[in-house]
Structure 1
């Protein structure tokens, strides 16, 4: 069983492989970003630090990851919310009346002027709860939370997609639908 510190380190390494550089580790992702769990285990083992890693350790990370970054299905694993396989096609859904976006106070005024953009990602990430938005935004420095009025946004043709685990995606959220909390 991994310690919390080891679990966090392994999660970051898994993210590097599954989201950013699968080819560097000989991992092939399918069109939806999945690879065989055993292929991931072997790729991770190629690093001395992780030479004793087992599938059970990967499963521990998947189960315990607060942000639910990974998904496993029938012996395959992928990183949720974007990866090297390109843009995943999520189905459009009607979100809750309000969603939240955690960000940094340094960029809050720009976002309130220009809207929430995906930046280097494929989609804008939004959360159903303040807790999840806080978790997502707190790693960026001093936390700022935005509330998204999805009812008005939907009425103005903004599209929302349900990713999973309280995470919603959008292509762009214009500033008129945002309020700083």
Structure 2
């Protein structure tokens, strides 16, 4: 069993393998869902001297304990559910709940309220059904601000939403007119 510090380091390395630079480690990901054979990923991990003794149970621990449920293992394959930066993964369009949330910080919020939510170097905008994931994402870079996204309005403006799993939704971008600051009382502030 990995200790917490080692688990976090392995999670970051798996993120690099499955979301950002698979080719550098000899991995070929399926372009439809970003998955690869678990055994191939294990080989890539173990090829690094630091991770030579990693076991399947260690990888399963990382998948199970990931705070944002970034990874998924199904039928001998593993994938990152979202957050890819190397090639655009395709997702099936879906109809999200009426409200989704986006976590950001106090400095970025004014620009988002003027220009909308954009992927900013990622393939998609990340949104969540609940406040937990939005809070995790937004609290990394300063004072947290939660934005509410009116998905019905966004859909009427042509925005397509994609379900990435575990309460996470993706979109190419979200217009500013569909976003408002969530004050925690159900009221929106523009």
The two structures share one fold, judged by TM-score above 0.5: yes
Q: Is the 8 A contact 1:128 1:167 kept in 2?
A: yes
* In the alignment, structure 1 residue 95 sits paired with structure 2 residue 60: no
* In the alignment, structure 1 residue 2 sits paired with structure 2 residue 6: no
- Taking the TM superposition and a 5 Å limit, the aligned residue runs for 1:14-163 are 14-31=14-31, 32-83=33-84, 86-163=87-164
Per-residue displacement from partner, 1:14-63 (whole Å, max 9, x unpaired)?
A: 00111111121112212232111122112112222212101111111111
What is the aligned partner in structure 1 of residue 185 from structure 2?
A: none
Q: Please state whether the residue corresponding to 1:42 is helix, strand or coil.
A: helix
Distance 1:84 1:43 in 2: 19
| Structure 1 stretches lacking a partner, 5+ long | none
Q: Is the 8 A contact 2:63 2:71 kept in 1?
A: yes
1:136 Cα deviation after fit: 1.4
Distance 1:106 1:89 in 2: 31
| Structure 2 stretches lacking a partner, 5+ long | 183-190
Distance 1:40 1:23 in 2: 11
Per-residue displacement from partner, 1:58-100 (whole Å, max 9, x unpaired)?
A: 1111111121111111111111114366222222222111100
- RMSD of Structure 2 on Structure 1 (CA): 1.4
Q: Is the 8 A contact 2:20 2:86 kept in 1?
A: no
Per-residue displacement from partner, 1:134-175 (whole Å, max 9, x unpaired)?
A: 011111222111011112222222221111100011111111
Distance 1:76 1:84 in 2: 20
Per-residue displacement from partner, 1:92-127 (whole Å, max 9, x unpaired)?
A: 222111100001211111111000011111111100
Q: Please state whether the residue corresponding to 2:82 is helix, strand or coil.
A: coil
Aligned length: 181
Once the two structures are overlaid, the 10-residue window that deviates more, 19-28 or 112-121, is 19-28
Q: Is the 8 A contact 1:30 1:85 kept in 2?
A: no
1:6 Cα deviation after fit: 1.2
Distance 1:28 1:84, change over 3 A: farther
Taking structure 2 as the reference length, the TM-score comes to 0.89
Q: Is the 8 A contact 1:159 1:171 kept in 2?
A: yes
